[in-house]
Amino acid sequence: MDSARPHERPTAFDRMLTPVHRWIWSDTDRRVQKLLRFSETETDGGRDILRAAEVTPDPLLRRLYLEHAIDEFRHGVLFRHRAAELLKISASRSNPGFHGDWLAPGGHGLDDVEVDGESDSDMLAFLHLSEKAAASRFTVYRDVMQHDPPTRAVFEEILHDETFHMNYTLMQLARVEPKWHGRHLWWARLSRLWKAYLRLATGLAGILGSMLLTIQYFVLLPPFAWLAKRAAHRERSGWTMVSPGHSDSLDRQY
Ligand SMILES: [Fe+2]
Ligand SMILES: [Fe+2]
């Protein structure tokens, strides 16, 4: 681990996943895809923070949010430009039909915050935790990017901003909510945990649903198909004479 400043230390969980991250980032195509997704995430985050700047009644927060939003938009551009550079290298090497696949938009996976319904303290607590998580992960990504110095430099630059965002949001939370800022942080942590659980549960529900439908298809459907075939064999082909007594009534179809 090199040059980790005091506030850029990754969490134990992120450190534990370092070999996985190293493997993921080792492939150029996967790197392009991830950088494009990160670019979307950063730009989306910038939009939310811009909205927060519009709705906050606090002049200092408005200024800080605006600077923060500009930083996030810049991060989006940095990631996109680096992805474009890698895409050129990757395309010229081996795979000319590569562009369309990776440029398809993907889900960004961040917790979107409902800015309009949030108080400044809730917004600051949410932002602090998000920036802290981003700083932790980006530290690991920077450290596993030894084989790609330009991408590593992008992470290094963005990490510097994320650390500033993480610190200013905590300081401002302590300013606007001197007594209860710890409570707001815990509430934001619980909210993130709940959203993480919902994402996990939704993913599991999708897998279980697919499994159940597959089982139904192969176990329940064949007997019905067999019965339908057997019934079809019993039917006489062509026109069938109806006995005179069955066609007297004009009130019904049969
Ligand atoms: Fe960012
Ligand atoms: Fe940030």
Q: Nearest ligand, CA of residue 68?
A: 2
User: Is residue 140 predicted with pLDDT exceeding 80?
Assistant: yes
User: How confident is the model at residue 165, as a pLDDT?
Assistant: 95
Q: Which residue has the higher pLDDT, 222 or 244?
A: 222
User: How confident is the model at residue 125, as a pLDDT?
Assistant: 94
Q: Which two tokens stand for residue 22?
A: 């190293």
Q: How far is the CA of 218 from the centre of ligand 1 (A)?
A: 48
Q: Which residue has the higher pLDDT, 238 or 48?
A: 48
Instruction: Give the Cα separation of 141 and 138 in Å (integer).
Output: 5
Q: Which residue has the higher pLDDT, 96 or 150?
A: 150
Q: Which residues contact 29 (CB under 8 A, 6 or more apart)?
A: 90, 95, 98, 102
* Identity at 216, one-letter amino acid code: Q
| Residue of 67, 57, 240 whose CA lies nearest to 161 | 67
Instruction: Give the Cα separation of 20 and 15 in Å (integer).
Output: 10
Q: If pLDDT is split at 50, 70 and 90, which confidence band does 15 have? A: confident
pLDDT digits (tens, 9 = 90+) for 18-76: 898 899 898 898 899 999 999 999 999 999 999 999 999 999 999 999 999 999 999 99
Instruction: Give the Cα separation of 50 and 55 in Å (integer).
Output: 9
User: How confident is the model at residue 2, as a pLDDT?
Assistant: 43
Q: How far is the CA of 158 from the centre of ligand 2 (A)?
A: 8
User: Is residue 89 predicted with pLDDT exceeding 90?
Assistant: no
Q: How far is the CA of 90 from the centre of ligand 1 (A)?
A: 26
Q: Which two tokens stand for residue 214?
A: 């597959």
Q: If pLDDT is split at 50, 70 and 90, which confidence band does 249 have? A: low
Q: How far is the CA of 131 from the centre of ligand 2 (A)?
A: 5
Q: How far is the CA of 125 from the centre of ligand 2 (A)?
A: 13
Rounded average pLDDT over 151-178: 95
User: How confident is the model at residue 101, as a pLDDT?
Assistant: 36
Rg for the chain (alpha carbons), in Å?
Answer: 29
- Cβ 172 vs Cβ 46: under 8 Å: no
Q: If pLDDT is split at 50, 70 and 90, which confidence band does 7 have? A: low
Instruction: Give the Cα separation of 143 and 156 in Å (integer).
Output: 9
Percentage, residues of the chain above pLDDT 90? 52
Q: Which two tokens stand for residue 43?
A: 């730009």
Classify burial at 31, counting beta carbons within 10 Å of its beta carbon; exposed 0-12, middle 13-18, buried 19 or more: buried
pLDDT digits (tens, 9 = 90+) for 201-232: 888 899 899 999 999 899 988 888 899 888 88
